Chains A and B, each alone.
Chain A
Amino acid sequence: GAVVSQHPSRVICKSGTSVKIECRSLDFQATTMFWYRQFPKKSLMLMATSNEGSKATYEQGVEKDKFLINHASLTLSTLTVTSAHPEDSSFYICSASGIVAGGSSYNEQFFGPGTRLTVL
């Protein structure tokens, strides 16, 4: 099946530093990757959608300069939280969709395990 990994799974950083989170599709080509933010016991908030080789499309209210997204290849997307502050502490989840061998391409998303970011 389609597997998506995220690294790191957990990160603690000081306020003002930048943090990079990687999202990889391990066994399929992810034409589109999504980045979500999830607050405790809350639904997923879509932050941005990225297609390989093009700029990410950010949802309304998401700061492009603060949450930098790069989708340089069909298997890797990165989210960089720049100058992180305590209010950026959250659970960040990526997902990927694409053509999975033997599967369908009906917009099914495959999710990474998530990254818990804590900014002190």
Chain B
Amino acid sequence: AQSVAQPEDQVNVAEGNPLTVKCTYSVSGNPYLFWYVQYPNRGLQFLLKYITGDNLVKGSYGFEAEFNKSQTSFHLKKPSALVSDSALYFCAVSSVGGSYIPTFGRGTSLIVHP
């Protein structure tokens, strides 16, 4: 069975500082990894994905994520946080040869302080 862990319920960061939202996964086979963002009372918006190729994936709004196979991680990062980045962030995984239905983490609330 595949699974995703987002170990932090909440991440607090000051505006202008770098941010990291952590995600680790477990799958059989090669993973497909996704990050989504959700603003209050909205659906999820796609940020970025890793399928194959470069381990560093660049996505929307200046976000990026690094696929680390040895650590089974796919942490979301941004060099300089904005107050408008405050939202709920979800990591998801599916796999080649495994379940095609993505499994979502429980979400991490990012709060960027002015």
Residues of A within 8 A of B (CB): 4, 6, 34, 41-44, 46, 49, 91, 93, 95, 104, 106-114, 116
Asked whether A111 lies within 8 Å of B49 as measured between CB atoms, the reply is no
Q: A111 contacts which chain B residues (CB < 8 A)?
A: 36, 43-46
A107–B94 contact, CB under 8 A?
yes
**How many angstroms between the C-alpha atoms of A112 and B107 in the bound complex?**
18
Contacts of A113 in B (CB 8 A): 42-43
Count of CB-CB pairs between chains A and B under 8 Å: 54
User: DSSP majority for the B interface?
Assistant: strand
A64 to B42, CA, bound (A): 26
A107 touches B43 (CB 8 A): no
Which residues of B approach A to under 8 Å, CB–CB?
A: 32, 34, 36, 41-46, 49, 51, 88, 90, 92, 94, 100-102, 104-107, 109
Tell me if A109 and B102 are in contact (CB < 8 A): yes
* Seed contacts A44-B104, A107-B102; 4 additional CB < 8 Å A-B pairs: A43-B107, A107-B32, A107-B94, A116-B41
Residues of B within 8 A of A112 (CB): 43
User: Could you tell me if B100 and A107 are in contact, using CB atoms closer than 8 angstroms?
Assistant: yes
Whether the pair B105, A43 counts as a contact (CB closer than 8 A) is yes
In the A-B complex, list the 4 residue pairs whose CB atoms are closest, starting with the nearest.
A111-B43, A43-B106, A111-B44, A113-B43
Alpha-carbon gap, A120 to B84, bound state (A): 34
Q: How far is the CA of A49 from the CA of B103 in the complex (A)?
A: 13
Nearest chain A CB to B94's CB is how many angstroms away? 5
28 residue pairs of the A-B complex, CB under 8 angstroms, read A4-B43, A6-B43, A34-B101, A41-B109, A43-B90, A43-B104, A43-B106, A44-B104, A44-B107, A46-B101, A49-B101, A91-B41, A95-B43, A107-B32, A107-B94, A107-B101, A109-B34, A109-B46, A109-B102, A110-B46, A111-B36, A111-B43, A111-B44, A112-B43, A113-B42, A113-B43, A114-B42, A116-B41
